Amino acid sequence: MGVVTRADPVGVSWPREERHLEEQAPPSRPGLWRLLAASPLPLLVPLWALWRDVYMLDEEGLQRVGGPKAVAEWALLSLASAALVACFWSANRSIRVLGYTFHALLLSVAFGVAGVLGVMHAFGGPAGNLAAPAWALVALSPIEGVRWNEVAVVLVPLDLALPFLRPARQRRYAQLRVAGLLLVSALCAIGVLHQPLWIPILTAVMPLSLIAFAERAR
């Protein structure tokens, strides 16, 4: 007796049809979330170039000023950023969580760098070489306008504890952080918070959402 390979009139699916449906299944949702979490990478490369003085942006435009040392530092930072993003697709869950966590920290450093570069260029050009996470600038700065930087409620140092937690606790912490970020978004929408936080919120919520919803707590 031959093997039936099509559905009967009452809609029963047979083995070959089930395999065909599995082959046509859409890509997994975690893959899309990882791509979204990795999306800031193309912006980090030019930011590191400005920070390490490979290029300088002033009233005359973009100028190449850095030597071999500056280029080497820029390349190292860019490769480290790319390596963290590559961890998102590791087969090992611990490496993925490590990548998500340090990528979020790197984004916090990047926002601090961008803030300092913006202040320097607002005063007519480079006048220093400070870079720190946004929350560190808030803690250390004597300038009231920086001390009350609202980015500090979006990118926080407590996320560094994530790789050392058990998977179930990682997931719970990430879910709480995502809920907090949604609350911050609501406060921005109704005008309680005044700084433009949408980009920091998006860059923080993507890696945390991967841990909260896409990674299995096992």
What confidence tens digit (pLDDT) does each residue in 72-107 have? 999 999 999 999 999 999 989 889 989 988 888 888
Asked, for residue 24, whether it belongs to a domain, the answer is no
In this prediction, residue 139 carries a pLDDT of: 54
In this prediction, residue 58 carries a pLDDT of: 63
In this prediction, residue 138 carries a pLDDT of: 54
Among 68, 100, 72, which residue's Cα sits nearest to residue 84? 100
Structure tokens at 121: 């260029």
Q: Tally the domains of the chain.
A: 1
Asked, for residue 162, whether it belongs to a domain, the answer is yes
In this prediction, residue 120 carries a pLDDT of: 63
Give the chain's residues under pLDDT 50: 3-8, 10-15, 17-27, 123-132, 140, 142-146
What DSSP state is assigned to residue 155? S
In this prediction, residue 59 carries a pLDDT of: 60
In this prediction, residue 118 carries a pLDDT of: 67
Residue 2 neighbours by CB distance under 10 Å: 4
Structure tokens at 59: 């009233």
Asked, for residue 182, whether it belongs to a domain, the answer is yes
Q: Beta partners for 56?
A: 63
Q: How far apart are CA 99 and CA 80, in angstroms?
A: 11
Q: What residues make up the domain containing 94?
A: 29-214
Write the burial class of residue 103 (CB in 10 Å: 0-12 exposed, 13-18 middle, 19+ buried): buried
Residue ranges of alpha helices (H) inside 124-213 are 134-140, 144-147, 167-189, 198-209
Asked, for residue 5, whether it belongs to a domain, the answer is no
Q: Beta partners for 61?
A: 58
What DSSP state is assigned to residue 195? S
